[in-house]
A and B are shown apart, each in its own frame.
Chain A
Amino acid sequence: MTDGKQSIALRVCALLTIIGLALMVWSILAPTPLPVMLAMTAGQAIGAAAFATYLIIVIRALRRELRP
C-alpha cells in the first residue's frame, strides 16, 4: 500500500471512529432502546472495523520498515 493510500485509509478510519463514538455517546446521553442497541451493535462494529484497519496499516508499515 502506498503512502497516499495509507493516508486515505487512516482518514477513513478516523471518520469511522468519530461515527462510532457519536453512536456510543448518544446512547449514554439518551439511554433509550434505539440508541443503546445501535451503540452496542453498529457503534462498536464501526469502531472495531476502524481499529482493525489501523492495525493492518501500521503492521504492514512496520514490516516494510524492518525488511532488510
Chain B
Amino acid sequence: MASWIFDNPLLAAAIGCAATSVALMLWYLVRRPALSHATKIVLLFGIGVLPIATATTGNVAGFEATKARSFCGSCHVMTPYSADSSDPHSTTLAARHARNADFGDDNCYACHANYGMYGTILTKLGGLRHVYEYSLHYRNMSLAEARATIHIREPFQNATCMHCHSTQGPIWNLVKDHTSLLERLRSGAVSCASAGCHGPAHPASKLPWSTASTEPTR
C-alpha cells in the first residue's frame, strides 16, 4: 500500500501534512502550553495551514480516485460491469474501450461523464446520488437481483461517444451504416450503443426506456 502512496508526490504531501498537523495537535493536547504568540502560531499551522493543505491535496487525489474503474467496482452491484471491463478477452463495447490506452483504468468515467460546461460538477453530483442510492437501497441486494433490476438512469447519450468519435472523420464515414444514419445518430434518435450497432455496452446492459424494469428508475 505504501509504495503507491509514495509513488504519487501529491498523496505523500497530503499524508506528510496530516502527520505533521497531528503531531502538533498531540503536542498541544499533552503539554498544554500557555496561549502565547508562539503557541498561536503553532496552532495556526496545526489547525489551519497543514489541514487545509491536506484537504486540498486530498481533494485532488479524491477526485482522481473517483475516476478509476476500481472505485466504481468497489460497490458489489457494479462488479459484473467492472469485471467485464477488466477482462482482456471480452468483446463488449466497455471492455474494448478499457483496452484503449486513452481511457484505460478510467474507462467508466470516460464514457459516463457529462462533458458539458458544468460536466465535472454534474458528474460528481450524479456520483453522490449513486452513493446515496447504494447506501440506502442496494447495499444488501444480492448480485443476481442487482443484475436484474439495476439499470442506467437515462438513455446513454450519443454526444458522449461523439466527444471522441466526431462523426466527421473520413474513416468513420467510410462505414455505410454511419453515413446512412448520420442525422439520426447526431440527434440521438438512434443509439450508438444499441444492440444492432455497437451495443450492448456491458454484458448486463438493459434498456430501461423500452423494456420492463421491476424497480422504478432512481
Q: Establish whether residues A21 and B1, one from each chain, have CB atoms under 8 Å apart when the complex forms.
A: no
Nearest Cβ on chain A to B101's Cβ, whole angstroms:
22
- Write the chain A residue with the least CB distance to B72: A33
CB distance from B51 to the nearest CB of A (A): 5
Taking CB atoms and an 8 Å cut-off, the chain A residues in 1-54 that contact chain B are: 3, 6-7, 10-11, 13-15, 17-18, 20-21, 24-25, 27-29, 31-34, 36-37, 39-40, 43-44, 47, 50-51, 54
Docked-complex contact B55 and A47, CB < 8 angstroms: yes
Q: How many A-B residue pairs have CB under 8 A?
A: 104
Q: How many residues of A contact B (CB 8 A)?
A: 34
Contact A3 B35 (CB under 8 A): yes
Determine the distance from Cα of A63 to Cα of B25 in the docked complex, in whole angstroms: 25
Known: A25-B15, A33-B131. 15 other contacts (CB 8 A): A7-B32, A13-B47, A14-B25, A14-B46, A17-B21, A21-B22, A28-B5, A33-B130, A33-B134, A36-B65, A39-B58, A50-B47, A54-B43, A54-B48, A55-B48
CB-based contact A29/B5 at 8 Å: yes
- Interface residue B152 (Cβ < 8 Å from any Cβ of A): no
Cβ of B194 within 8 Å of any chain A Cβ, yes or no, is no
Interface check B125, CB cutoff 8 A: no
Q: How far is the CA of A17 from the CA of B22 in the complex (A)?
A: 8
Interface residues in chain B, defined as those with a beta carbon under 8 Å from any beta carbon in chain A:
1, 5, 11, 14-15, 18, 21-22, 25-26, 28-29, 32, 35, 40, 43-44, 46-48, 51-52, 54-55, 58-59, 61-62, 65-66, 68, 71, 74-75, 128, 130-131, 134-135
Chain B residues with CB under 8 A of A18: 22, 25-26
Contact B1 A40 (CB under 8 A): no
Instruction: Determine which of B14, B28, B51 lies in contact with A47 in the assembled complex, contact meaning CB atoms within 8 Å.
Output: B51
Given known contacts A28-B15, A31-B62, A14 and B51 CB-to-CB distance under 8 angstroms: no
Say yes or no: A21-B18 contact (C-beta < 8 A), given A33-B71, A40-B62: yes
- B40 near A58 with CB under 8 A, answer yes
- Binary contact readout A50-68 vs B (1 if CB under 8 angstroms, 0 otherwise): 1100110010010000000
